[in-house]
Structure 1
C-alpha cells in the first residue's frame, strides 16, 4: 500500500470534511486528546469469514488516516469474539469451530497488516482478544465486567430488542460484554484512548466507553463512521455473487475494479471522500465535472483506480483498467496478461464451447442474445464483434487461430454487452 499520503490539516477536520464521523462521544475532548501527542486507538475485526470485505475497508483506511497523523494504532483481531459473533438482525449466527476461527484470525491479520506501518515511532501493534479472554474465569468475568451492565439497557439495544420475539441466545446477548472488555483491557495495557468502528457498532463502542468509566473512572473516546449506502438508502457492498471481498482469490482485482466502475452517479463523489486519500477539493472538482458529463464516467474511473490501488496495488489496478477498456474496444486485447483476461471474462460470464463452434451458437451460449435468429440478426446488422473486430458473416466460426492465449475469445454485441468463451 502507498504510505506517503500528505497530511495537510488536523486529522479530525479532515474526517469531518469527508463525512467520516457519524457519531462520537465528545469531539472536543477527542480533539484535545489528539493534540496532546500520539494517541493510542483501536479498531476490532471479528473473523467471521476467511476474508475481510469492502464493508471493512473504510475502517482500515480510518486507521491509516490517524496513523499518518502521528497516532498509534492497535489492530485487534477477535479470536475470542469471533467464536461468538456480533448479534445479527436476521437471526442467530452460526458458530464456527475454534480451528476455523483461528485460521481466519491469521488470514485477516495478514490481510489488514499492509494498510498500517508496524515500524517506527507510532508503529502499529497486532492484538488478539483471545489473549485475555481465553483463560478468563467465568466468576471473575461476571464480577468484574458483568456487574457494570444494567440488563434493562442491554434489552433496549436495537438488535436485541428486534430479536426478543424470535429469540436470542444468552451467548449473543452477552457479546457486548466481551467487546466492551476489549476496550477496558486495551486502556489498561496500552493507555488506549479511542475506539473506532462502523455505524452499526455504535452500541458496542459506547458500551465500551461506559465500561472504562464505570470500572476505572477514566474518560475515553468512541467514534463510528457512517454506513455506506446506495442512493436509495439500501446497503452497499454486494454483487449478485455476494460480498465484495478484499481477498483476490475470492473477488478478483478485475471484478473489484468493475464493482467501483458501476458506482451510482449520485454517490460517486461521496465514495471518493470516504474511501480515498485524494484531497477533498480535488474530489469536489472531479464530482462537479462528472455531474455535468456523467456519460464519461470520469469519477467512477478515478474511484475504481484509487480504491483498487489501495487494496491490490497500482499494478493490478492498471491491469484491471486496461482490461476494462480493452473488453469494450478501447484498448488492445492482445496486451492483456492471461490471468487478467481470464478474470475479466469470467466476471463477464464466459462459457466453454468446442473449437469450431459457429459464431451464432457462441453468441447464444454466452447469453448475449436469446436465440439463433437474434444472433444472426446481430451479425448481419454489424453489431457482433469477435476480439473487438466486427464480424459480418453469419456462417463464421470461432477458431483456435483467433483465440487469445490459445483459448479465449471475447464476444461483444453492440457497444456495451460483453461476454466471452473459452475454447475446449
Structure 2
C-alpha cells in the first residue's frame, strides 16, 4: 500500500497534469518508470473531470549496480545546462562511474555501434578506465558538442598526468575581501569555492583527509594560504578523489 506522503504526492502530480492539460494543452506526460502510477492518476483525473483522453509514457530508469538512481553528486543533480554543470564537471561525472556501471551506461546512453559495445563486455582492469573515457567523451560530445568534449578530456588527462591546461576546469575568482591580513583559511576557501556548503562540512572534509591543494594534503583545519598563491594560474583544490577546482585572483 501507499504511505500518506506517497498518496499525497500522487494526488499533487495528478492535479499538475490536469492543470497543464487545461492551461497548456499538454496531453502526454513523460518520465521514469517509477512514476507510472502517478502519471496514470493524472490521465484518470482528466478523463473523469473533462471526459478527454490523456497519455503517459515512461522510460527505464538508469540505476547503478546497487539499485540506486544515478544522476546525483555532492552538489546535486547532474544538469545538461552548462551554467549549472560545466562540461568539465559533466565529463568528470561519467568518467568516474563505477566499474560495474560503465558498460550499461555506454549501451543505454551512447550511439556507439552495438557490435563495438559487445566487444567491450570482456574488458577488465585498466581497460574499464578506457571505457569510462569513451563514455564521458561520447556523452559530453552529445550534450555540449565535440569541442567542449575534447577540452574536457584534455583537461582531465592533464590533471591525472600532472600536466596540461587548467583553463577549462571549474574555477572561482576570489575577491580581496575573502582574505584577512593577506591570508585565507582552508575552511573559508572550500566554502568560497562552493566545494562545501558550510564551515562544518568543510571542517569534516579536512579532518577526514579529503582536501588537497596543489597536490599537498591539507589535514589542519587551521591551515591558511597566502593571497599571493592565488595570483596568475592560482591553486588547484582537490576534493576527495574526483573533484578538481581552480581558485585564483586577477
TM-score when normalising by structure 2:
0.62
* Structure 1 spans left out of the alignment, 5+ residues: 1-155, 347-351, 356-362, 373-398
SS in structure 2 opposite 1:249? coil
Could you say if the C-alpha distance between residues 282 and 330 of structure 1 is closer, same or farther in structure 2, counting changes exceeding 3 Å? farther
Secondary structure at the aligned position of 1:223 is classed as strand
Residue pair 2:65, 2:100 contacting (<8 A) in 1 also:
yes
Q: 1 CA distance for matches of 2:67 and 2:161? A: 34
Match of 2:118 among 275, 279, 284: 284
- For the 8 Å contact 2:17–2:29, the answer to whether it is kept is no
The structure with higher relative contact order (CA 8 Å, sep 6+) is 1
Match of 1:179 among 17, 33, 38: 17
Report the Cα distance in structure 2 between the residues aligned to 1:325 and 1:243, rounded to whole angstroms: 24
| Equivalent residues, number | 209
Q: 1:312 matched to which residue of 2? A: 144
| Secondary structure of residue in 1 paired with 2:57 | strand
- Which residue does the alignment assign to 2:155? 323
CA distance in 2, matches of 1:266, 1:367: 29
SS in 2 for 1:228: coil
From the superposition, tell whether residues 200 and 180 of structure 1 become closer, same or farther in structure 2 (CA, over 3 Å): farther
Preserved contact between residue 308 and residue 316 of structure 1 (Cα < 8 Å): yes
Alpha-carbon spacing, 1:195–1:282, altered in 2? closer, same or farther (3 Å):
farther
| Structure 1 residue aligned with 2:89 | 255
Taking the aligned partners of 1:322 and 1:330, their CA distance within structure 2 comes to 12
Is the aligned partner of 1:406 residue 2:232?
yes
Instruction: Specify every segment of 5 or more residues in structure 2 that has no aligned partner in the other structure, as ranges.
Output: 173-178, 184-210, 221-227
Cα displacement string for residues 303-332 of structure 1 (whole angstroms, at most 9, x for unaligned residues): 111111122111111100010011122764
1:162, CA displacement in angstroms?
Answer: 3.8
* Cα deviation code 1:124-158 (max 9, x no counterpart): xxxxxxxxxxxxxxxxxxxxxxxxxxxxxxxx6x4
Q: Secondary structure at the match of 2:103?
A: helix
Check conservation: 2:96, 2:242, Cα contact below 8 A.
no
In 2 relative to 1, CA 216–266 (structure 1 residues): closer, same or farther, beyond 3 Å? same
User: Aligned partners of 1:211 and 1:235: how far apart in 2?
Assistant: 29
Taking structure 1 as the reference length, the TM-score comes to: 0.40
8 Å CA contact retained: 2:102, 2:135:
yes
Structure with higher Rg: it is: 1
* Map 1:182-331 → 2, pairs under 5 A: 182=20, 195-210=29-44, 216=51, 222-285=56-119, 287-289=120-122, 291-294=123-126, 296-329=128-161
Structure 1 position 210, deviation (Å): 4.1
SS at match of 1:259: helix
| CA–CA distance in structure 2, aligned partners of residues 211 and 371 of structure 1 | 57
The alignment's C-alpha RMSD in Å is: 4.5
**C-alpha deviation, 1:365, in angstroms:** 5.0
TM superposition shift of 1:282: 2.5
Partners of 2:244 and 2:42 in 1: how far apart? 50
Residue 292 of structure 1 aligns to a residue whose secondary structure is coil
**Contact 1:328 1:418 (8 Å CA) reproduced:** no
